Every structure is written in C-alpha cells, then in structure tokens.
Structure 1
Amino acid sequence: MSRLQRYADYVSTLRAAGVPLASYACPYCEHVLEARIPSGDEEPYDTLTVCPHCGCLFMQWTWADGHTETKRPGGVA
C-alpha cells in the first residue's frame, strides 16, 4: 500500500469517526493535507510531519480554531 493510500485511509477513518479536521498545504509541494483539530481546552497540536505526497519533513501546528501553521526544518516557513 502506498504512503498516499495509507494517508487517505487514515483521514477517512477520522472523518467517519466525526473527528474535526483542518486543511493546510504542505510547505514544499503545496499538496492539501488535513490535520486533527484539538478541542477548545487543549493546547495546539504540534507534530513532525512527513508529506504523504512528496515525502518531505516539516513541523505542523494546529489550534482549536482550525488555524494551522507549518515550518520547514531550519526555520524556513
């Protein structure tokens, strides 16, 4: 199974469970990705992410309002 297919299956499982998701673009290839939105009383989610489309590594933060930021390693946004 490809990396993209595993990602699509994961997102489908989250959607089916009613998990709120935020859309954002990979900072390298601009492929649209989705991330879980934390509940209002949680800190922003932060994660080291590998784009399932291009395979590049980056940091990603998602806040309870759905705002998402990404940063390439080395501080390049």
Structure 2
Amino acid sequence: MAKVCQLTGKRTRVGNNVSHANNKTKRKFFPNLQTKKFFLESEGVWVRMKVSAKAIRTINKNGFEKTLIASARKGTLSV
C-alpha cells in the first residue's frame, strides 16, 4: 500500500541529502503514518485508517466525523 495519508493526502516527498562538500544525492521524506482505528458513531462501526500524526491531532481536536466530512469536501479523502 502507498505511503499516503487517507485523510490529508500527505504523501512521500523527494529532496536531496546535502553533504558538507555540497554534494547532492536524492532522498525521500516519508510522512509520519500510523494505522489507527476510529469509532464512527453515526454508523456504530470501527474504521481502520492509515493517517498521519497531524491528522490524528486534528481528529482529537475536531472529532472523527467532522474531520471526515471536511476532508471529503476538500477532496483528499481516499478510502
């Protein structure tokens, strides 16, 4: 499965390692993804999602259902 947050759409970024001599080699920056279960109260079911640490903080702040609706409206929700 791809390293993409299912709520925010964060994905792997590409950049450079830069040495002291200013040599540049390609590298990847991976998002901090966690597999987590959330309870969807309206349906009464548990949902397992692969989300970034920032998305978990947003869910803790706003609630799971509100965050789902917002990401679906934004177009970043992938299930």
Greater share of helix: 2
TM-score (norm 2): 0.31
Larger Rg: 2
Query: Which structure carries more relative contact order (alpha carbon 8 Å, separation 6+)?
Result: 2
